[in-house]
Structure 1
Amino acid sequence: MTVDSTLRALLADVLGLGEDRAATLAADSGLFGELPEFDSMAVATVLTEMEDRLGIVIDDDEVDGEIFETYGSLLTFATRKVAG
């Protein structure tokens, strides 16, 4: 699986979006503040699932609001972390 497909599956599961809706997320699709399912509680779960599913470690000082603005920004962050 690619980082993109893993991230889409993760969001489908954690946010309850379903695979079809997660598949329609574009780089500029808004997340936090745009999707009602993506609230502050979901942020912690998404981060934990990213660590588990992508085999990465996310330090607290790496997390800021910009990461969750759009699907593209979250994907960029995840891809950068996987690349090490």
Structure 2
Amino acid sequence: MQPDGSLQVEDTVRAVLRDVLGLSADRVAEFRADTPLFGALPELDSLAVAGVLTELEDRLGILIEDDEVDGEMLESFGALTRFAAAKALG
């Protein structure tokens, strides 16, 4: 069972990845929790990471501190979604 709001956060993460990285809606719809992101998606380079995080902050109304950003949170779609949900819902 997902916590209230987590599906909305997941949808927002999908939309941000689609919009910032220029991915197709079909491609992003296929992302699962274990879908690798950083290092696996050529579109997600270090500059794009900044854009993704800024857009997540704007759309979810959260603040992501520099010391919270690490490779683990960007390792997979699930990790990024869990991080965003913890910030937005926690």
Does TM, scored on the shorter chain, surpass 0.5?
A: yes
Letter of the 1:59 counterpart: E
Deviation (angstroms), 1:48: 0.2
Count how many residue pairs are aligned between Structure 1 and Structure 2.
84
Q: Are 1:22 and 2:20 matched, yes or no?
A: no
Identity %: 61
- Tell me what 2:89 maps to: 83
State the partner residue of 2:61: 55
1:83 Cα deviation (Å)? 1.2
Q: Deviations over 1:25-61 (max 9, x none)?
A: 0100000000111111110000100000010000111
The residue number in structure 1 matching 2:45 is 39
Q: Aligned residue for 2:17?
A: 11
- Per the normalisation by structure 2, the TM-score is 0.90
Q: Distance in 1 between matches of 2:42 and 2:8?
A: 26
Supply the RMSD in Å over aligned alpha carbons: 1.0
Q: CA deviation at 1:13?
A: 0.5
Where does structure 1 lack aligned partners over 5 or more consecutive residues? none
Q: Name 2:4's counterpart in structure 1.
A: none
Which one has a larger percent helix, Structure 1 or Structure 2? 1
Letter paired with 1:64: D
Spell out structure 1 runs of 4+ moving beyond 4 A.
none
